[in-house]
Structure 1
């Protein structure tokens, strides 16, 4: 057998895949779960491309969200991917989102709407679309976002997930937890009065939420909240849930005091409660205890607005690990009557526990801003 293996070219295996009968390719195509899968499938060869239609898109029905939202929206999948150039050998993180018109767009993994071309340091020669014959997209994580087609007149939603295909679990800007079953006349508030929630996550096909004092709850199919882990006793102001290498983590962010935020230096022109420190805890599920984490090793946490996730920098050459990327909300004063709220990408480094803007560190910025030629904005067949 060993002699046989040495005489067979690896290309033979590839050719066998490319030469599969079209009727079998059609059957496989019907089981593709996302548009990312479809585009990757079509990029294999001409025969694979002809087996699945470019017009494929998942059904995205317009949702009429009742009070307290009062708006129409589309629940769209969000896919975090590693974007690799087939020949240049460079890679970066991108978020692929689907517009209400069905177009797949490449976005900043941290924010909801910032295109990747707006990263500092990107090449200015930008193509309109990405051809997967030239690039590879490797899926790393999935989430959802609500694309509003009308402006909400009531509360807004800060994060949403699809709950077992029958409804939406959402965190409101009031930090309440709500559920809306498709077609329901009202939202069901799952929060107890006076309890506020910071983040929600799907972990191993189960849904979990964490409140502001550090209690993690499992949400069962009947939408009951069952305490999943002991009290964290984290004294930070904002908690995020992250899955990393199959483990359950909490990132506890400490914000500056409100007085410090309000009286920032006038020359800066910004105010807001910036993050001043972070602590990370891993749940030991066997013993039911929280373990303090003092290093992420080669891992990186990204606390995105749509989905929080983790990656290994081993898959991103020349990028720095052992850090957390996140967004800080700030207010920019244009004049005494007008204030603009925006978000600034920052990085927390475990080695010296410093927090700086991402663009200040080339080895950190490179994870989102590679030197690729003709970096695209959307995906084509």
Structure 2
């Protein structure tokens, strides 16, 4: 009996060693798939723990070789003070504060809807750079952004790697890593794009008339990219409607809002990208949508205290006496078809602070703040031309 016990005890370390060796020798492609799944779920913490398991897993998940790996898609940059950035996961409700000294060396341009940081070189020709703040991936584009005022929206696609930027006047520009300059999507000035978002490997746009356009890249190069209308307007091009396109969870939604309530109430439609059609929906579940002319955001309301699920928050800037900053936020409960208006400005904030003190205001500011996408102040001798 003693001999048997001794043999069993001696076997356990060998079995554990074999098990550890087996996990560390997993094929790189399988390790990459696991890492991609963690980031797709916005689980940055588990992703970092995953990379720390062993040297082979850490090596397999390095971004340097393939720019399309491990791109965040469910994070929003909600605050920036010099090189300190605050992100929030729209799916889990987690907040992450990151100090990134690298930002001091570049001009800050903006951020994509998923959380990638857009920078530019501090000297001519001001070439564009894109930083993954969670993994350290640093993409170097040959092209530089033209002077376009403030950046309204930006997004990054990975097949191929392309950066899309929307300007304050609705111009859509794009470039891949090897493009010599940004190309521009030309549209009728009376019908400029209002919203853009990546979905299912493509870029989708909605215009002022409520039509849906999508991108096509036949040869995998920005030089051959084209935009075409895939779904015609659901409101018949009526000028009294605003139309917003937003990715909400795993769905793509088009929200049509009348200028005045006498024309009706907001309508939510699901965009069926496979059959190129729109389907009216009467519920958005537990999602909360923040929509403005600048950018749109969808969050899981169950993860954020004080945020009402099944509700749309329309955010519109308004003028106040003395050139004050204020916003009109109209809430619309989709299932009940009930609409209310809320006005908040700096006077309503705690202690006269200019900082928002509710999550609703944080998300509203993110969607409507034009200053969010650029910084014209100098920091450590570096300034942005955007």
Name the SS for the 1:142 alignment partner. coil
Task: Check 1:148–1:318 CA distance in 2 against 1; reply closer, same or farther (3 A cut).
Answer: same
In structure 2, the residue matched to 1:142 is: 114
Quick one: distance in 2 between partners of 1:304 and 1:44?
37
> Alpha-carbon deviation of 1:48?
5.9
Quick one: distance in 2 between partners of 1:128 and 1:331?
32
Name the SS for the 1:321 alignment partner. coil
Quick one: distance in 1 between partners of 2:72 and 2:326?
21
Quick one: distance in 2 between partners of 1:107 and 1:314?
14
The TM-score, its normalising length taken from structure 1, stands at: 0.53
Task: Check 1:196–1:319 CA distance in 2 against 1; reply closer, same or farther (3 A cut).
Answer: closer
Cα deviation digits, residues 297-345 of structure 1 (max 9, x gap): 43332448897454554566885321013432234554xxxx4656566
In structure 2, the residue matched to 1:40 is: 46
- 232-241 vs 280-289, greater mean Cα deviation: 280-289
In structure 2, the residue matched to 1:329 is: 317
2:87 paired with 1:106: yes
The TM-score, its normalising length taken from structure 2, stands at: 0.52
Q: Aligned runs of 1:222-371 on 2, under 5 Å?
A: 222-233=224-235, 235-244=239-248, 246-255=250-259, 278-283=266-271, 289-303=277-291, 308-313=296-301, 320-334=308-322, 339=323, 347-350=331-334, 351=336, 352-356=338-342
In structure 2, the residue matched to 1:5 is: none
> Alpha-carbon deviation of 1:207?
1.6
Cα deviation digits, residues 29-69 of structure 1 (max 9, x gap): 6664569666423346974699649x9776999xxxxxxxx
Aligned counterpart in structure 2 of residue 191 of structure 1, from 186, 191, 203: 186
Quick one: distance in 2 between partners of 1:108 and 1:245?
12
Quick one: distance in 2 between partners of 1:161 and 1:236?
28
In structure 1, the residue matched to 2:102 is: none
- Which one has more relative contact order, counting CA pairs under 8 Å at least 6 apart? 1
Cα deviation digits, residues 74-128 of structure 1 (max 9, x gap): xx966435xxxxxxxxxxxx65899996x7632596xxxxxx99xxxxxxxxx97
Aligned counterpart in structure 2 of residue 157 of structure 1, from 140, 145, 151: 151
Name the SS for the 2:47 alignment partner. helix
Quick one: distance in 1 between partners of 2:343 and 2:253?
24
Q: Aligned runs of 1:55-134 on 2, under 5 Å?
A: 79-80=73-74, 95=77, 105-107=86-88
Task: Check 1:306–1:333 CA distance in 2 against 1; reply closer, same or farther (3 A cut).
Answer: closer
Quick one: distance in 1 between partners of 2:246 and 2:319?
27
Tell whether the 8 Å contact from 2:326 to 2:344 is kept in structure 1 after alignment: no
Quick one: distance in 1 between partners of 2:274 and 2:52?
49
Name the SS for the 2:284 alignment partner. coil
Cα deviation digits, residues 9-47 of structure 1 (max 9, x gap): xxxxxx99x967563479466664569666423346974
Q: Which residues of structure 1 form unaligned runs of 5+?
A: 1-14, 62-75, 82-93, 110-115, 118-126, 131-140, 258-275, 370-381
Tell whether the 8 Å contact from 1:144 to 1:160 is kept in structure 2 after alignment: no
Tell whether the 8 Å contact from 1:42 to 1:50 is kept in structure 2 after alignment: no
Aligned counterpart in structure 2 of residue 173 of structure 1, from 168, 171, 188: 168
> Alpha-carbon deviation of 1:220?
0.5
> Alpha-carbon deviation of 1:287?
6.6
Quick one: distance in 1 between partners of 2:328 and 2:260?
16
Quick one: distance in 1 between partners of 2:121 and 2:266?
36
Quick one: distance in 2 between partners of 1:298 and 1:184?
41
Cα deviation digits, residues 197-232 of structure 1 (max 9, x gap): 101121211221111111111211132222211222
Which structure has greater helix proportion? 2
Name the SS for the 1:160 alignment partner. strand
Task: Check 1:39–1:235 CA distance in 2 against 1; reply closer, same or farther (3 A cut).
Answer: same
Task: Check 1:154–1:292 CA distance in 2 against 1; reply closer, same or farther (3 A cut).
Answer: closer
Quick one: distance in 1 between partners of 2:306 and 2:359?
8
Q: How many residues align?
A: 275
